[in-house]
Amino acid sequence: MQHETGTFAGPDGVEIFTQCWLPDEGVPRAAVLIAHGYAEHSGRYAHVAAHLVERGYAVYALDHRGHGRSGGARAQVHDFDEYVSDLRTYFEQIRARHLNPPLFLYGHSMGSLIALLFALRWQDELAGLITTGTALRLGGVRAWLVPAVKLLSQWQPGWSPIPVLEAAGISRDPAVIERYVHDPLVYRGPMRLGLAAALLRASRTCAERLGELRLPYLALHGGADPLTLPEGAALIRARSGSADTTVHVFEGLYHEVHNEPEREQVLTCVVEWLDAHVEQPQLALRPQHVGGSK
C-alpha cells in the first residue's frame, strides 16, 4: 500500500493537511474520500483505508480546518460551509488526478453532516454517499438548549462551556479509548459555542433536506451510540429521497462503529456496498498527488 501526504490552501488561506492510501499495483476501482468527525483527525482512519485499499480502492482524507495537522483555530468554525468548501477543493483535486472517476464520499459523525451538505449540493458528481454515526440526533441535547446556544454564540463564539467529549462513548474497545485519549492530534478541550451552534444548524439543515437525496446512500449506526443517537438512522430511513438507501444499525455498538470489536463486520458491510455500486471497473490515475506533497 502506498501512502502520500500533502497540503493545500483553503479559500481563506488556511493550510489543510491531506493524505491518501493507494494500491501498490494496478489502478484503483474507485476513490473514497473520508470526512472525519469532531475533535479527531484523518490518521485515525488508516485501518479503514487499509481495508479498502486491499480490496482495490483508493482512499483520500483531509484533516478539517482546526483539526489534526491542519491550520486554523482549534475545533472552531463560524459555519459548516467552511468545512464544505475545503472538502470541495480537495474533491476537485482528486477528480483532476483521476480519469472518469467513480468517487464516493464517506463521512463520520460531524463529518457525516459535512458529507451530507456536500452531497446536497453536488450529488450528481458522486457515485454514492456513506455516513456513520450520522449526527442528526445528538446525545444530551435538549430542545430548550438549542436557542440558548445559538443566541450566546453570536456574542461569545469562542466561549467553551460545553464539557469535553466523553471518550467512553466512542467504542467498547479499551485500547481504542486509550489511544484516543493520548493522541496528541485529538482535540481534548471543551466544545466552543461557535462550533456548537454551527453543528446544530448543520444537523437541522441535513435532517430537513434528506428528501432531496437521489444518490446511492449507505448509513451505518451503532445501536447503543450515546453521542449521536440511533434515532438519526431511523430519520434517514424515513426521510431519504433516494430509492437506493440502505440503513444498518449494529445492535450494541457505540459511536465509532469502525473502531468497535466488530469492526471487521462493519468494514465488510462497507466494502460489499461499494462493490455493488462501482459501475466502472477501473480508475485511471495521473502521476501527481493532490494537495501538493510533503
pLDDT given for residue 194 in this prediction: 81
Mean pLDDT lowest among 103-112, 194-203, 284-293: 284-293
User: Tens digits of per-residue pLDDT, 256-282?
Assistant: 999 999 999 999 999 999 999 996 444
| Fold designation for 2-285 | Rossmann fold (3.40.50)
Strand locations in 79-163 (E): 98-99, 103-108, 128-132
Mean pLDDT lowest among 52-56, 104-108, 112-116, 143-147: 143-147
pLDDT given for residue 155 in this prediction: 42
C-alpha 162/C-alpha 193 separation (Å) is 8
List the 217-222 sheet strands across, edge first: 2-9, 15-22, 58-62, 31-35, 103-108, 128-132, 217-222, 245-250
Mean pLDDT, to the nearest integer, of 125-141? Answer: 88
User: Tens digits of per-residue pLDDT, 161-203?
Assistant: 455 578 999 999 999 999 999 999 999 988 887 888 889 889 9
The partner residues of 31 in beta bridges, in order of sequence, read 58, 103
Question: Which residues are catalytically annotated?
Answer: 109, 225, 255
Specify the pairing of strand 128-132 against strand 217-222.
parallel
Task: Place 255 in a pLDDT band, splitting at 50, 70 and 90.
Answer: very high
Q: Retrieve residue 60's grid coordinates.
A: 483520500
Task: Place 290 in a pLDDT band, splitting at 50, 70 and 90.
Answer: low
Q: Specify whether the CB–CB gap between 150 and 156 falls below 8 A.
A: no
Q: Retrieve residue 203's grid coordinates.
A: 444537523
Per DSSP, the three-state class of 94 is helix
pLDDT given for residue 128 in this prediction: 98
pLDDT given for residue 138 in this prediction: 85
CA atoms within 13 A on the CB side of 273: 25
Q: Which helix (H) or strand (E) holds 199?
A: helix 193-209
| Residue ranges of domains in the chain | 2-285
User: Which pTM value belongs to this model?
Assistant: 0.89
Task: Place 18 in a pLDDT band, splitting at 50, 70 and 90.
Answer: very high
pLDDT given for residue 162 in this prediction: 52
